[in-house]
A and B are shown apart, each in its own frame.
Chain A
Amino acid sequence: MAELSISKIRKSYGDLEVIKGVDLEVEKGEFVVFVGPSGCGKSTLLRMIAGLEDITEGELRIGDELCNNVHPGDRGIAMVFQSYALYPHMNVADNIGFNLKISGYPADVRQEKIQKAAQVLQIQHLLDRKPSQLSGGQRQRVAIGRAIVREPQVFLFDEPLSNLDAALRVEMRMELSALHRKLGATIIYVTHDQIEAMTLADKIVVLDGGVVQQVGSPIELYQRPNNIFVAGFIGSPKMNFFEVDVIALHDNAVEVKGTSIEPVKVPADTTGIVVGDKMTLGIRPQNLDFDPNGPVHGTIEMAERLGSETILNCKTADNTPLLAVLDRDESFAHGAAVRFSFAPVHSILFAADGSSKLTA
């Protein structure tokens, strides 16, 4: 049985519907990441699970209990907020032990649990300090400690690393991953950072406009996106999209041509496609190789030399942005005409409605 189950959940504020019927199953010990652009409803969905937002319609089950109207404190969840939300007047030990105190644990048991959580997070030396005396990373650890100590069925993280600097974010990301392995906890994690999602998740839920666009493992989402939105959202830099016309149909392949794409045969599910259709061809920047005879052509707007790789920002003849990542350092002149080749098997065709036409 799933640790957490969401069935046809909806959330409306008056006439505005922000979550439009979400179904999801989270298994025990799974690390699930909700990802999507700002305003997609990922935080609202998390807050509905936490009990901080009412559920307009649908069912939320944690374990085997229907939790739609259960008080947040009784749902068996713990939440880590973006701003940490530590109680500023309490020291670290009291912050971590506040729930235990409310739950009526005796002082010695409380102390033992606080010490244990502090040990896991290596914050034993900070227990007497107030939150104002801690750095961002330390505050984050305390917030996680407050969650750990409750031994919840499900941990909820609402963009917990957003307030940290880049270096600390990488460090905390690794720590969170290690903590998940160590505790075997079920975690639901919200982020807008798709790198965080890719590195941490067992399962990613991509949301847009209050609708789940796709649920799957990070690699599945990267390699086999359901639609143009998921393909564009997952992967960094973003996938290139080109408007193309279908010029011929083959067995499990479609031949297309665009303003800046010479005729190319792309493996695809040909169902419902006819010659003359307008489609979108998606190619990841990493799959483009600098090749003077390649079928994709454009002019260089800017070359970002990062040492180990070079990101070429180009424009095609019809002003479509074109990004290419070369795995070497190389200088390019602004305005230079360039050509790229790519392996058609690594490109994806999208129908006019945005759905991908990947072969089975």
Chain B
Amino acid sequence: MSQSFSPPAARKRRQQKSVEGTLDTAFGWAIGDPKSMIVRAVFCALLLFVFAGPIMTIIVGAFDLNPDPTALTLWPHNPSLENFRVATGRGIWGYFANSLFIAGFGLLLQIIVAVMAGYALARRKFYGQTVVLGIFLATMMLPEEVVAVPLAVVLGDLPLLGISIRGTIFAIILPVAASAFSILVMAAFMRDIPEEIIEAARIDGASEFRILLQVILPMSLPALGVVAIFGFNGIWDQYLLPLVAANRTDDYTITVILRSLRADIEVGTGALLAGAFLALIPSLIVYLLLQKSLVRGMTSGAIKG
């Protein structure tokens, strides 16, 4: 005889719903029940307000001639592109291009480094592997603010080479070329690839590099998606690094210049929101493009294939 450990009331309610041909949700809210529908709608609206509110304010405010960030509206009262004209006057597109170049080039380097280092950590055995892994992990524990000043010093006098790259675009790109998070994500994913597939490729005559490029990498696409999204956003959102690494304001990124726009009394809130709107778009596009990979990458290994 089967046993049930549900409280009698809950069991009774479930049985009742079951008879009516409806389904229970995890919270015990029956689908189709008006009362539970209202509770859920209010709950969802609250969540939506908390998360989407600021984004709505940016979007609506960017296209409003006289935006009021304190008022949440769904549509601009005075629709206009004037804010973008003002922001353009302040050279926002140049900074946007700087950001795009740094994020694009930096992400490319970060992916290359993550793939190769991840492969080495996951599939090769070498002395000091645990120490290397520990150092990678340690870098994740240091906040950006702690690293900023020593980093600026290092960029001013690169070890071994003895040259300074401060004031160049590479001073912003080089530090983001390696990310412990990206390396660990790739390593964790590659570790799950069956050894026999790699051995089969080896017997097929593939070199180590070809195995990585044509066997491991295509199988690691979900992990690449995760690395791309987090990596791009991480680089795009950099504030302190461009600030300390750049010598001229022309080399600033959009995140740095947004701060300047905010402090600029000649520029209204509208231009600031227009700049913020522009800063929002690339991350959104990257996320939408790689959303499927992100979900697969984050959940891979959760269910046996």
Contacts and interface: CB of A to CB of B under 8 A. Distances in A.
B204 A85 contact: no
B202 interface: yes
A280 B36 CA distance: 78
B201 A87 contact: yes
B203 A83 contact: no
B41 interface: no
B204 A99 contact: yes
A73 B204 contact: yes
B210 to A, nearest CB: 7
A304 B204 CA distance: 47
A234 interface: no
A81 interface: yes
B215 A87 contact: yes
Contacts of B202: 51-52, 71-73
B149 to A, nearest CB: 45
Interface in B187-210: 194, 196-197, 199-206, 210
A51 B203 contact: yes
Nearest to A152: B203
A73 B203 contact: yes
B201 A50 contact: no
B134 interface: no
A74 B206 CA distance: 10
Interface string A9-24: 0000000000000000
A79 B197 CA distance: 11
Given A81-B196, A83-B196, A102 B205 contact: yes
A89 B218 CA distance: 7
Contacts of A82: 196
A89 B203 contact: no
B204 A77 contact: no
Contacts of B219: 87-89
Interface residues of B, number: 16
Interface string A63-76: 00000000111100
Interface in B235-269: none
B204 A98 contact: yes
B201 A79 contact: no
Interface string A138-164: 000000001000100000000000000
A79 B200 contact: yes
A85 B206 contact: no
A218 to B, nearest CB: 28
Contacts of B203: 50-52, 72-73, 77-79
A73 B205 contact: yes
A303 to B, nearest CB: 34
Given A52-B199, A79-B200, A85 B194 contact: yes
Interface in B167-195: 194
Nearest to A102: B205
A79 B215 CA distance: 17
Contacts of B197: 85-88
Nearest to B220: A89
B92 to A, nearest CB: 41
Given A81-B199, A85-B200, A87-B201, A102 B206 contact: yes
Contacts of B196: 81-83, 85
Given A73-B205, A74-B205, A89-B218, A102 B210 contact: yes
A83 B203 CA distance: 15
A271 interface: no
A243 to B, nearest CB: 44
Interface of A: 50-52, 71-74, 77-79, 81-83, 85-89, 98-99, 102-103, 146, 150
Given A89-B221, A98-B206, 9 more contacts: A50-B199, A52-B202, A73-B202, A83-B194, A85-B199, A87-B200, A99-B204, A102-B204, A146-B204
Interface of B: 194, 196-197, 199-206, 210, 215, 218-219, 221
Give 9 nearest A-B pairs by CB, closest first: A73-B205, A85-B200, A85-B196, A99-B204, A89-B218, A102-B205, A72-B203, A81-B196, A72-B202
14 contacts: A51-B202, A51-B203, A52-B202, A71-B202, A73-B206, A78-B203, A81-B196, A81-B200, A87-B219, A88-B197, A88-B219, A98-B204, A99-B204, A102-B205
